[in-house]
């Protein structure tokens, strides 16, 4: 990865620890209206993205004994999409996030469906080596202070043959890309700031997407981390997409 794309860096932060603290504080602050704003600002297409991601891993979700974690789970919508594909009496899904306020709201959704809330940093997961059959993260990986360290940590906790799914935003090309870029960089920050009262969080969003590795670079990073069969599947004309890979 390039130096620019090494990790998230909110405005005014210096160093990984400072960046992580700023991201944590930001998500705690927007947690009360996070779900509503997600659906409004995406036109509810985010629900389709979670559903498609869960369907991609249905061969693992259908196994009652599969050990699964949804990292950077936020308010739990990706976790819920996974749980809807779990058999009755299946091993619970771990839902992990370091934002206390986001996790509280997520737990209220998924606890009765077989999700267990775990407050922890994605770069230091409280999980033993080589145990997970599936690790997903939806719109959270981009916010890690160190992307390479995140991939190494995900690789560490996955069992041999385990699979990884990273759902995140991208920047589409062409005419649509230009229209979307205008909305994403100019309209969305103003609208999000107005509705949430936290303008900094929605200014940070397009900036973080701009810093995030493009698909070819991200696929290379997955291979360098040791993953195999890495691929990117674009969603909704490339506005978002799913990176999937396997630990050999």
Q: What is the pLDDT of residue 198?
A: 66
Which CATH number characterizes residue 178's domain?
3.40.50.150
- Residue whose token pair is 């932060």: 13
The answer to whether residue 2 sits within a structural domain is no
The answer to whether residue 109 sits within a structural domain is yes
The answer to whether residue 55 sits within a structural domain is yes
Give me the sign of the Cα torsion angle 21, 25, 30, 31: positive
Q: What is the pLDDT of residue 3?
A: 45
The answer to whether residue 1 sits within a structural domain is no
Q: What is the pLDDT of residue 213?
A: 94
The answer to whether residue 60 sits within a structural domain is yes
The answer to whether residue 122 sits within a structural domain is yes
Q: What is the pLDDT of residue 145?
A: 95
> Residue 121 sits in which domain range?
16-246
Q: What is the pLDDT of residue 196?
A: 66
The total of structural domains in the chain comes to: 1
Q: What is the 3-state secondary structure (H, E, C) of the chain?
A: CCCCCCCCCCCCCCCHHHHHHHHHHHHHHHHHHHHHHHHHHHCCHHHHHHHHHHHHCHHHHCCCCCCEEEECCCCCHHHHHHHCCCCCCCCCEEEEECCHHHHHHHHHHHHHHCEEEEECCCCCCCCCCCCEEEEEEECCHHHCCCHHHHHHHHHHHEEEEEEEEEEEECCCCHHHHHHHHHHHHHHHHHHHHHHHCCHHHHHHHHHHHHHCCCHHHHHHHHHHCCCEEEEEEEEHHHCEEEEEEECC
The answer to whether residue 5 sits within a structural domain is no
The answer to whether residue 125 sits within a structural domain is yes
Q: Each residue's pLDDT tens digit in the chain (248 positions)?
A: 754 558 989 888 988 999 999 999 988 988 888 887 777 767 789 899 999 999 999 999 999 999 999 999 999 999 999 999 999 999 999 999 999 999 999 999 999 999 999 999 999 999 999 999 999 999 999 999 999 999 999 999 999 999 999 999 998 888 877 787 787 787 877 877 776 676 667 788 778 888 899 999 999 999 999 999 999 999 998 989 999 999 99
């Amino acid at each position: 990865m390039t130096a620019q794309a090494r990790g998230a860096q909110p405005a005014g932060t210096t160093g990984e620890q400072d960046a992580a603290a700023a991201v944590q504080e930001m998500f705690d602050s927007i947690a009360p209206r996070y779900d509503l704003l997600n659906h409004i600002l995406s036109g509810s297409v985010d629900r389709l993205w979670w559903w498609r991601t869960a369907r991609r891993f249905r061969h693992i979700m259908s196994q009652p004994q599969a050990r699964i974690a949804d990292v950077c789970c936020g308010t739990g919508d990706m976790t819920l999409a996974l749980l809807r594909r779990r058999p009755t009496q299946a091993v619970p899904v771990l839902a992990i996030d370091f934002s206390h306020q986001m996790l509280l709201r997520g737990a209220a959704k998924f606890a009765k469906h077989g999700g267990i809330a775990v407050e922890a940093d994605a770069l230091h997961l409280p999980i033993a080596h080589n145990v997970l059959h599936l690790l997903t993260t939806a719109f959270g990986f981009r916010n890690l202070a160190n992307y390479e360290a995140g991939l190494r940590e995900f690789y560490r906790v996955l069992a041999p043959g385990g699979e990884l799914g990273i759902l995140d935003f991208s920047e589409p090309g062409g005419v649509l890309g230009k229209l979307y870029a205008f909305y994403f960089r100019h309209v969305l920050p103003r609208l999000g700031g107005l509705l949430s009262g936290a303008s900094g969080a929605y200014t940070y969003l397009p900036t973080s997407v701009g810093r995030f590795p493009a698909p070819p670079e991200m696929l290379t990073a997955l291979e360098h981390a040791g993953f195999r069969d890495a691929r990117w599947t674009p969603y909704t004309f490339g506005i978002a997409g799913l990176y999937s890979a396997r630990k050999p």
